[in-house]
Structure 1
């Protein structure tokens, strides 16, 4: 995977991406460049692949209105740039704003289909971004990453004067839950996010598929931590104290019953928090990938009922859209 010669990961994916560019298939090219830069930006070739991905993506003809903006948000003693991809359907009234974030290895361009379908189906303005430590983020993955995201929330709230929701997948779900607990957003959905609420901690050094290295790269580490360093790293991202605070921001937490990365208690533990709904999907793994379509449709109804509750049709649609996934939930 790390060879740069013939048959190596980046050269092979790059050859497919370049062929797509020659064919004028810019979306396919962007997604192939995303495969070339996967899983982290640890080499010059992968950083170059990310730049080629963004250049190809700018040439895509979208079925919705699309805008790329770079927001300067407060961070530390200064500011940090946060590139945001904005998607909005061509007709109808805006029903609110939804920030969309993936995890440590699935970034905003890889979420293209989800961003576009969500914008078209819901009437929400979808703002896709890379979470701290990934993609174009200039901020490493650390406990205060939510402050960068809160800055994005504030900027979008000022720009659009609309309710703000946050949908996070995998590690992005951690930030969704934290922003809800802190009251920074009006509603949030955490799909497969680590929270530190399970009785058993995440065995980060033995996670499958190289995930330990991927997380370490996002944190800016130059080597895997020693076993005795892991508890402190995990404690940085524990939401135990926040989960016990009173809060009124609605939160939906969902995951597969057989997640290979995150203990089930990281999701079910959120049920002790007020205004929180928990869905555990049977026969499904991380982020309920095997049942992702009905889960996403249900989250659309849930989000709209909280971001646009004044619309009677939205309130009526919520139970209908949730019905398919409810049949898949564990008892």
Structure 2
């Protein structure tokens, strides 16, 4: 079972408030929930999951399914450490599917059986398809971070599908969301390879991989190994972060839960496992697909080195944006067009065929 730890919910609001507003929650409702929450874990008045779920249920009752999905998404944040959080995730997915007719693109939810360390594991995916999409278009797979999962990335996923005229396949990286296997470097990468193979059959065989935060580790890995045709790494942990795991705002414990610890580990235990995520062996090779690597210069979780280490590589574009933090979220109005333009040029430019 996952574990809980001491968390100041108001500290989380301080870190995530802007993200909550940007995703579309009314500020007045957000402020009311913030004022009502006094503790992180109790499923009772004043508790994080209780107050967020109450807001979500109110939205659902009047048919505001997109808002209900957003609120349930914050109710299950930052990890599924108890049954109430798991229930919030199930409610989020239910409300998300009810909201699907208004997405403006075709949507389907599918559960894939993919190889994982000698067995198979269920990997639920969300597939977004623009209306009238030709069969011979590329596919973009997208994986989020340890606390922001596929359903939480909705606006970005739809914008990618519409802006690029491609099919987008979103998934939760190992150890997060609906994944039932722990966060490990090799096991998670095996799931990405299996998903990539499935994605090749959905379009013209060309697959790009966008990874965000911890998901950026896996897109850096698939891109460096040449396993995809293009890779975008947004705030990815690559080398220096493997030697110094993120620790601010409870991230050590979020990662500890994702890794499958059933009690709070010592920081050294997390660091020992995290060291295996070091991508130096792949950085030393010259196999990479075209890559775009982006992050904020003031990221408190990922050292600048993990972005700058890509400078000078073949077929690689690097942007370290000043006055922005993790994943350059405060400059997303610049970052998203940058990603969109790079993917459009890379996927639609002249090419002999996919890198296999």
TM-score (normalizing by structure 1): 0.89
Distance 1:197 1:210 in 2: 19
Deviation at 1:251, TM superposition (A): 1.1
1:173 corresponds to? 216
Distance 2:89 2:274 in 1: 29
After superposition, residues 266-305 of structure 1 pair within 5 angstroms as 266-305=306-345
Deviation at 1:223, TM superposition (A): 3.3
- Pair 1:81 & 2:122 matched: yes
- Pair 1:30 & 2:69 matched: yes
- Correspondent of 1:264 among 296, 300, 304: 304
Distance 1:188 1:274 in 2: 13
After superposition, residues 110-121 of structure 1 pair within 5 angstroms as 110-121=152-163
Deviation at 1:232, TM superposition (A): 2.4
> Would you say the 8 A contact 2:321–2:328 is kept in 1?
yes
- Pair 1:201 & 2:243 matched: yes
> Would you say the 8 A contact 1:252–1:277 is kept in 2?
yes
More displaced 10-residue stretch of structure 1: 296-305 or 42-51: 296-305
Q: Report the number of matched residues.
A: 308
Deviation at 1:92, TM superposition (A): 4.5
After superposition, residues 224-263 of structure 1 pair within 5 angstroms as 224-263=264-303
- Correspondent of 1:40 among 75, 79, 82: 79
Deviation at 1:80, TM superposition (A): 1.1
Distance 1:297 1:247 in 2: 27
> Would you say the 8 A contact 1:100–1:167 is kept in 2?
yes
Distance 1:12 1:228 in 2: 34
- Correspondent of 1:8 among 21, 43, 47: 47
| Shift in CA distance, 282/133, structure 1 to aligned 2, threshold 3 Å | same
Deviation at 1:138, TM superposition (A): 1.5
Distance 1:17 1:31 in 2: 8
Aligned-residue CA RMSD (Å): 1.7
Distance 2:96 2:267 in 1: 40
More displaced 10-residue stretch of structure 1: 128-137 or 232-241: 232-241
SS across alignment from 1:58: helix
SS across alignment from 2:333: helix
Deviation at 1:28, TM superposition (A): 0.9
- Pair 1:99 & 2:141 matched: yes
| Shift in CA distance, 222/266, structure 1 to aligned 2, threshold 3 Å | same
Query: For residues 34-55 of structure 1, what are the alpha-carbon distances to aligned partners after superposition, in whole Å with 9 as ceiling and x for unaligned?
Result: 1111110010000011111111
Deviation at 1:72, TM superposition (A): 1.2
> Would you say the 8 A contact 1:168–1:193 is kept in 2?
yes
> Would you say the 8 A contact 1:153–1:185 is kept in 2?
yes
> Would you say the 8 A contact 2:137–2:203 is kept in 1?
no
Distance 2:198 2:213 in 1: 24
2:228 corresponds to? 185
| Shift in CA distance, 276/223, structure 1 to aligned 2, threshold 3 Å | farther
1:57 corresponds to? 96
Deviation at 1:155, TM superposition (A): 1.1
SS across alignment from 1:135: coil
> Would you say the 8 A contact 1:268–1:278 is kept in 2?
yes
SS across alignment from 1:160: coil
Q: Structure 2, unaligned stretches of length 5 or more?
A: 1-39, 352-356
Query: For residues 176-202 of structure 1, what are the alpha-carbon distances to aligned partners after superposition, in whole Å with 9 as ceiling and x for unaligned?
Result: 00011122110000000111147x932
Distance 1:246 1:164 in 2: 20
> Would you say the 8 A contact 1:191–1:287 is kept in 2?
yes
